[in-house]
Amino acid sequence: MMCDAVRHERGNRSTPDGGHHGQAFLVGNEISIHPIEKEDAEAGMSWCDTPYPLSPDSIARWISERMVHDRDTEWYAIVRRVDDRVVGSATVHLHEGTAWLDLYADPLYGAPASRWRGETLSLIVSWMVDERAARKMRIYLAADDHVLIAAARASGMRQTARLREIYDHAGGRVDLLVFEYHNTEWLGALGDPMETPLPRTGADQPGSVPAHAPLPGDPPRNAVLIGERVYIRPFEREDAEREALLSRRETEIAFLAGRQLDSAIEINASRSAEERRALPQWIPFAACLRATGEMIGIVDLFGIHFRHRYAETGSYLLRPEDRGKGYGSDAKHLLLEFAFDRLGMHVVQSRVRFSNTRSAAALRKQGYRDAGRLTWTHPVDGAFGNDALFDLLASEWRALPRRSG
């Protein structure tokens, strides 16, 4: 009788070889997948993907105060079937029809840990995409993680991008591979996004980096880095009001897939929250004209990872009339100098929508290289559009020709 089995298991999760009995899905040969519960905090170091030692109390607090609030992310324990021991975790983040998967297994187990992750991957891919109707699943894999790459391929995932030298593994740099799995019925309805050609404009050749501009006098107020025509400085409260106003004056529709209305209060709230962090994951700068001090745009680093020393770059010029004049590239090279020379980043990446050929051409001119694609990221023209990925190594940027000042 089923209810007896239920009673037996309640509160008896540690009974060896019992935890998966009756589970109807997400059960593999060696492992099964359970939601994270508070008692899993006791063995947190086996499943928490953190480089820092965290006590069971800290992890229990994270479970009951943080984990339960995040409705877009699901945390699961990877449990070894023979003895119900938690040996790793799977995190699924659902956003806009994409399920992102992160897998972690306690590295102290060595080779079996890779195998368990592979088994978890194949269980979760079919559950999330075929049963729970995510349009696609995406995972980032280290290029030297051969067991998991094989498991991803065996599950029908395809490599969509290679970002060079993202990970720092035991003193060497390792590429990051993006793998995606697409729902078969959506492939039938929309066609294969891997076959959509990337439109290109521009020369594709890297240009030169503007030279450091010697200062005739004092630097502009609060400047962090200074170029010939533009400088970058921290954001100020009033900048957000200007951004909000100019977002209402935007005339270009296509490259953003529609104009957005930004409020100053929301812009300031997210920036000030980030500035309070000891190690920020997002560093935005105001790009200003040296001639007038006027703020003309934003350049930023986000998704900053200090351990592996990579980040993503972004830039935006607020007024249509400032675009196409090289201000954006001037400001971008100041941002790259900040990223590589001050923060010590090893590599940066950038992504643009396929339709945004102008930004893609600008990235190539700034020295970035094409790295692949992320598919079906946004609705456009009655289908889902793709993003192009780019990367740029610090060494490549340093080797670009410098213009004389």
Partner 1 sequence: MRATIDAPTKELTPDSAPEPGTGHHGQRFLVGDTVYIRPIELFDAKVGASWRDTLFPQSPDRVETWIKEDMVKQKDIQHLAIVRKADDRVVGSASIARDGNVANFLSLRVDPLFGERGKAWAAEAVPMLVEWLVDERQRPMLSMFLPADEHEILNAALAAGMQETARFREMLEKDGKRIDRLVLTRLNPLWVQTIGDPNSVELERTGTGQARPIPPKLTIEGDPPRNAVMVGKRVYLRPEERSDGDLVADLARRETETFFDIGRHLVSSVSHTHWTGKAQKAALPSWIWFSVCLRENDEMIGSVGVINVNYQHRYAETGSFFQRQDYRGSGYGSEAKHLLLEYAFEHLDLHMLQSWVYFPNTRSAAALRKQGYKEAGRINWLYSHNGTFDNFVLFDLLREEWRAMPRAEWVGPTGESAQREADAS
In whole angstroms, the minimum distance from the beta carbon of 149 to partner 1 comes to 26
Question: Do the beta carbons of residue 329 and residue 313 sit within 8 Å?
Answer: no
Alpha-carbon distance of 141 to 131, in angstroms, equals 24
Q: Is 43 in the site for partner 1 (CB under 8 A)?
A: no
Applying the rule CB under 8 A, the residues between 63 and 82 that interact with partner 1 are 63-64, 67-69, 74, 76
Q: Which residues, numbered 324-343, are part of the site for partner 1 (CB under 8 A)? A: 325
Among 18, 38, 196, 400, which residue sits at the site for partner 1 (rule: CB under 8 A)? 38
Among the listed ranges 44-52, 144-152, 185-193, 213-221, the one in contact with partner 1 (CB under 8 A) is: 185-193
In the region spanning residues 296 to 315, those forming contacts with partner 1, defined by CB under 8 A, are none
Binding span for partner 1 by CB under 8 A among 20-28, 153-161, 164-172, 200-208: 20-28
Interface residue with partner 1 among 18, 23, 159, 274 (CB under 8 A) is: 23
Per rule CB under 8 A, is residue 369 in the interface with partner 1? no
Q: Which of 3, 82, 111, 170 binds partner 1 (CB under 8 A)?
A: 3
**Residue 278 sits in the site that holds partner 1 (CB under 8 A):** no
How far is it, in rounded angstroms, from Cα 288 to Cα 223?
9
Helix (H, G, I), strand (E, B) or coil at 126: helix
Residue 207: Cβ-neighbour burial (10 angstroms; 0-12, 13-18, 19+): middle
Selected binder of partner 1 within 42, 144, 266, 275 (CB under 8 A)? 266
Residue 195 near partner 1 by CB under 8 A: no
CA angle 235, 238, 241 (to 5 degrees): 110
Nearer to partner 1, 272 or 395 (CB): 272
Compute the half-sphere exposure of residue 127: CA atoms within 13 Å on the CB side of its CA. 16
For the CB of residue 48, give the shortest distance to partner 1 in the complex, in Å.
Answer: 15
Q: Which of residues 125-164 bind partner 1 (CB under 8 A)?
A: 127, 131-133, 135
Q: Burial-class residue 151 by CB neighbours within 10 Å (0-12, 13-18, 19+).
A: buried
Neighbour count for residue 384 (Cβ, 10 Å): 19
Residue matched to tokens 């900048």: 239
Q: Which is nearer to partner 1, 30 or 370 (CB)?
A: 30
**Start-end of H helices in 251-393:** 264-275, 327-337, 357-365
Here the tokens at position 306 are 């200090």
DSSP lists the bridge partners of residue 27 as 32
CA distance 122 to 137: 11
One of 34, 80, 138, 290 touching partner 1 (CB under 8 A): 34
**Which residue, 172 or 188, has its beta carbon nearer to partner 1?**
188
How many residues at the interface with partner 1, by CB under 8 A? 71
* 368 near partner 1 (CB under 8 A): no
Q: Which of 97, 112, 234, 326 binds partner 1 (CB under 8 A)?
A: 97
Nearer to partner 1, 109 or 316 (CB): 316
Q: Which is nearer to partner 1, 4 or 218 (CB)?
A: 4
Q: Rule CB under 8 A: is residue 4 a binding residue for partner 1?
A: no
Among 14, 17, 22, 222, binds partner 1 (CB under 8 A): 22
Q: Is 262 in the site for partner 1 (CB under 8 A)?
A: yes
Structure tokens at 225: 């880095």
Cα gap 156→219, rounded to integer Å:
56
CA distance 4 to 1: 6
Cβ(365)–Cβ(329) below 8 Å:
yes
Per rule CB under 8 A, is residue 275 in the interface with partner 1? no
Buried b (16+ CB within 10 A) or exposed e, 65-91: eebeeeeeebbbbbbbbeebbbbbbbb
